[in-house]
Amino acid sequence: MLFRSETINVLAATIEKKTADKGALNADIQSMNEEISQVEDDEEAAAGLRAEENKEYLRRENMLAVAVQKMKDAIAAMEAMAKQVGGGALIKKFSRVIRDSVEMADVLHIPTHHKKALLKFMQQASDGEEEPAGYSLHSAEVVTTLKGLLKTFKQKKIQADNEEMHARQEYEMAAGARANQIKALNKAVTEKSEQVAALEEDINAAETEKLETENAKNADRQFLDDLAAKCEQKAQIGRASCRERV
């Protein structure tokens, strides 16, 4: 009886401790799952932002590439035709390219002193302010100015390429770190879940043993009670027989 009571006490303490350990592990698992969800949300937001940044880069890169090519072609043509066509006529012929280049500088927020010069040349050609003798000089100035703007566009494209590369590398590094964090958290959740499962088995086994021990203890008590009752019954019979003989 005493041994069984001690066993029950030990099992009860074991169940209590393992239940507390299980609760702590489940709390850790919940916390880690919440952290995983947060990191996943962060990655989704970062990926969305990176996609938008890349989309804007591609838009600007395409605009710059088209503008640079058009300006290259226009400059080459203007240089080839400068000796054959008057400056005013040359400027008017390529006015669309010149105006597009100016507008491109505005759209891309490229500060440049070339813009005012180009617009002035176009206005002069349109108003006929330049004398025929000055057209060749006028054309040379336009070509020089366009070359300056072309150089600025090329520099802007290189800058945009470098910024995109840097932004992509930063995102990839951060995304890699988040992926590693999620992997480590998932590994920890798996390990703790396995520990919880093992504790549940231990708790179930301890509860089963405790119940069996309690049943055995109750059976022992019932046996002793029955035995005591029988002994008392025999004693009563014995005392009654003694009284009859007397």
Q: Is the pLDDT of residue 133 over 50?
A: no
Given a cut of 80, is residue 52 above it in pLDDT? yes
Cα–Cα distance, 188 to 29 (Å, whole number) = 8
132: which DSSP letter? Answer: G
Residue-wise pLDDT tens digits, 199-216: 999 999 999 998 988 888
17's CB contacts (< 8 A; 6+ apart) are none
69-91 pLDDT tens trace: 888 887 887 777 666 655 556 66
Please state, in angstroms and rounded to a whole number, the distance separating the CA atoms of residues 236 and 244. Answer: 12
% residues pLDDT > 90 (the chain): 39
Asked whether the CA dihedral 44, 50, 56, 58 is positive or negative, the reply is negative
The sign of the torsion formed by the CA atoms of 123, 124, 125, 128 equals positive
Mean predicted confidence (pLDDT) in 126-136: 48
What DSSP line would sit under 38-104, residue for residue?
A: HHHHHHHHHHHHHHHHHHHHHHHHHHHHHHHHHHHHHHHHHHHHTTTS-HHHHHHHTHHHHHHHHHH
Which of 54-58, 119-123, 129-133 shows the lowest per-residue confidence on average (mean pLDDT)?
A: 129-133
Q: Which residues contact 164 (CB under 8 A, 6 or more apart)?
A: 53, 54, 57, 61
